[in-house]
A and B are shown apart, each in its own frame.
Chain A
Amino acid sequence: MTIAQILHDLLFDYTLRTVALGAATLGLVSGILGAFAVLRKQSLLGDALSHAALPGVVLAFLLTGSKEPLALILGAAVAGWIGTLWMMAIIRYTRVKQDAALGIVLSVFFGLGLMLLTFAQKRPNASQAGLDRFLFGQAATLLQRDVETMAVLGAVALGVVVLLWKEFKLLSFDPGFAATLGYPVRRLDILLTSLIVIAIVVGLQTVGVVLMSAMLVAPAAAARQWTERLGVMVVLSGLFGALVGLAGAVTSSLVAHLPTGPTIVLYMSAIVLFSLLLAPERGVLARARRQARQRWQFAVEALAVHLLHHEGRPEEAMESELSHLEAELRWEREFARRVVREAIAGGIVTRSGNRLMLTPLGREMARQVMVR
């Protein structure tokens, strides 16, 4: 299939267009809100909340008997909300810490959800078919009105983020200071958490409760690698989310039996891996290179200081011998050679036979090191 064909289908094929729009919306919204969750060290909150949403979805279905998206979404939101309040209460009124409280809420609600789901599916009524798509998501079943609901919810959530940008930034960085300025920190906290519940609800049908937390955490973790500014990070996180949503939808439409949700999450994981390894400042490779450079730099400085120390003294001839360095600075032979090579290349020392001499530049550097 050609690119032109894919673009054509994206615009005119009802199913693909709907799925792609839904997945991109989900990615955008969860990417942006996930950035705040990650910065506030609440990465696992999304996990607990999305699992907590499951019993809400099934209960809403059992009560209304329909799979009307608004009803199910409302059920998910209410259950997610109750889960949040439960968790906050556990942290506040018991000695259980946040990580354990998250675990408790997650497993209790998810267990309840699975139980209700099994119960619903055993009922002699055909309409419950497809309810299990909330477990792992099933983007192919998205309808246009689902996407419309998602878009409206997402727009509301993002609108609040734009309006309260400065407040959310301060809340994420220094909530104590925010409180002294008079901001209602607890209410802002609940508001931001509610927005995360919205993001989860938006994504449930597409990626399901099990994989939803990846869509909150992964884009943010990847975006953080590339920038030191909150605004750039949040936008980038949203873009990553939207991009993988789109890519996942297209890919699964091209390959038979490839589920959309897991494909999206795998794409996202690839971006995370790439970012963790290769980001220019914070990436693993960049850090390793920086450390190696510092190590050589330090060794060259030590060599220069050593030579300066003995310069013009009777022992100079002996001390500046290459073989002596190994004993004096306790360097392995290979290491010593490499340091000397680096020093010569950097114009710090010159070598004549077996003796090393500081260049004027090297002398200057050694003096500066000693002052430091």
Chain B
Amino acid sequence: MENETNPSSVLRLSFGRPKAIEVTDLTVAYRDQPVLWDVDLDVPEGVLMAIVGPNGAGKSTLIQAILGLVQPAAGQVRIYGRPYAEQRHLVGYVPQRSSVDWDFPTSALDVVMMGLYGRLGWVRRPGRRERELALESLEKVGMAEFADRQISQLSGGQQQRVFLARALVQDARIYLMDEPFAGVDATTERAIIALLQELRAAGKTVVAVHHDLQTLEEYFDWAMLLNVRRIAAGPVQEVLTDENLRKAYGGRIAFLPRVTNGREPEAIGTQGQA
């Protein structure tokens, strides 16, 4: 194997670390159409991992299956060795921004406080302590001054940061994010990636659905290529090979990266879609 002659530093670092997420033989189907087929995935603690693949590859579905939002037809998911239902306090979630109606009558601060509802339990309302935690979290994403702003008056990038703040306030060890960079401006993208790297530095594990192969290597250290089946998973350089990309994207890729044996990757991009 290539790894043995040219071991990646990331791989070495991850060796012996506990598995934050362990997905085994996961199959998910909508009606009779398989969306994920027999997927295995180990995510070592402390990596910043991207899930990449073409449209309809099942990237969001994988995140949702890990979170128990969709029922798998087969297979299982473990969070630090136990089912999600027992470990939900360890997991923070950033859904796709477009999954909610931003015209909902509520403020940015209010949305962030929703991240604390799980800890509050039934009936109890958030109080001053929750407000403070939520404000702190908004500050971390540079949104403190927008705390009382109605959420429809925020730009797309600001809305995304509110969602991030809501996940941060959960104070989790694992963060699952569905397309955190979708439709955000360059400033927000930089702010988000800085935040993700901060999380990793603090020993957290981050898994994000990502669309842009171009920034993959720069932003992430771990990757999974997915197209209904798992194509590859591991350190980014090992995953991003010509062969893997061709398997994942078929003929739809315009320029393939050359990353074999330490050579610098050249133009990476996708044509039209993905």
Contacts and interface: CB of A to CB of B under 8 A. Distances in A.
Contacts of B99: 174, 176
A174 B167 CA distance: 13
A228 B93 contact: no
Nearest to A41: B101
A354 interface: no
A250 B88 CA distance: 55
B66 to A, nearest CB: 10
A194 interface: no
Contacts of A178: 117
A176 B95 contact: yes
B68 A180 contact: yes
Contact of B104 (A39, A163, A183, A232): A39
B88 A228 contact: no
A110 B73 CA distance: 39
A14 interface: no
B125 A165 contact: yes
B100 A179 contact: no
A23 to B, nearest CB: 27
B16 interface: no
A167 B126 CA distance: 12
Interface residues of B, number: 29
Interface stretch (B2-10, B45-53, B106-114, B181-189): B106-114
Contact of B95 (A167, A177, A230): A177
B69 A229 contact: no
Interface string B82-99: 000100100101010001
Contact of B88 (A39, A167, A181): A181
Given A41-B101, A165-B125, A180 B69 contact: yes
B120 interface: yes
Given A166-B125, A181-B88, A233-B105, A173 B111 contact: yes
Nearest to B113: A166
B209 interface: no
Interface string A155-174: 00000000111110110111
Interface string B122-165: 11111000000000000000000000001010000000000000
Contacts of A17: none
A211 B95 CA distance: 38
A173 B100 contact: yes
Interface in B60-92: 64, 67-69, 85, 88, 91
* Highest count of chain A CB atoms <10 Å: which of B85, B107, B117: B117
**Size bracket of the A interface:** 20 to 34
A290 B78 CA distance: 53
B100 A174 contact: yes
A173 B114 contact: yes
Nearest to A162: B123
B150 A176 contact: no
B122 A167 contact: yes
A233 B150 CA distance: 13
A230 B125 CA distance: 14
A124 interface: no
Nearest to A234: B105
Given A166-B117, A170-B114, A228 B150 contact: yes
Given A180-B91, A180-B93, A228-B105, A164 B123 contact: yes
Contacts of A177: 93, 95, 114, 166
A227 interface: yes
A174 B111 CA distance: 10
A167 to B, nearest CB: 7
A353 interface: no
B88 A182 contact: yes
Interface in B195-241: none
A229 B118 CA distance: 22
Nearest to B121: A182
A166 B130 CA distance: 13
Nearest to B178: A176
A303 to B, nearest CB: 27
Nearest to A233: B105
Contacts of A163: 123
A224 interface: yes
A264 to B, nearest CB: 25
A34 to B, nearest CB: 14
Contacts of B93: 177, 180
A177 B101 CA distance: 13
Contact of B105 (A181, A182, A224): A224
A172 B106 CA distance: 11
A178 B99 CA distance: 13
Nearest to A185: B69
Contact of B69 (A170, A176, A232): A176
B106 A229 contact: yes
Contacts of A165: 125
A227 B123 CA distance: 25
Contacts of B123: 163-164, 166
A176 B104 CA distance: 15
B104 A172 contact: yes
Given A177-B114, A228-B150, A166 B120 contact: yes
Interface hub of A163, A166, A169, A177 (most chain B Cβ within 10 A): A177
Best-buried of B99, B104, B120, B122 by chain A (most CB within 10 Å)? B104
Contact of A230 (B85, B105, B166): B105
7 contacts: A166-B120, A169-B114, A173-B101, A177-B93, A180-B68, A229-B105, A229-B107
Given A166-B123, A180-B88, 5 more contacts: A39-B104, A164-B122, A174-B100, A177-B114, A233-B105
8 A-B pairs with the lowest CB-CB distances in the bound complex, closest first: A181-B118, A228-B150, A180-B93, A180-B67, A174-B100, A173-B104, A230-B105, A228-B105
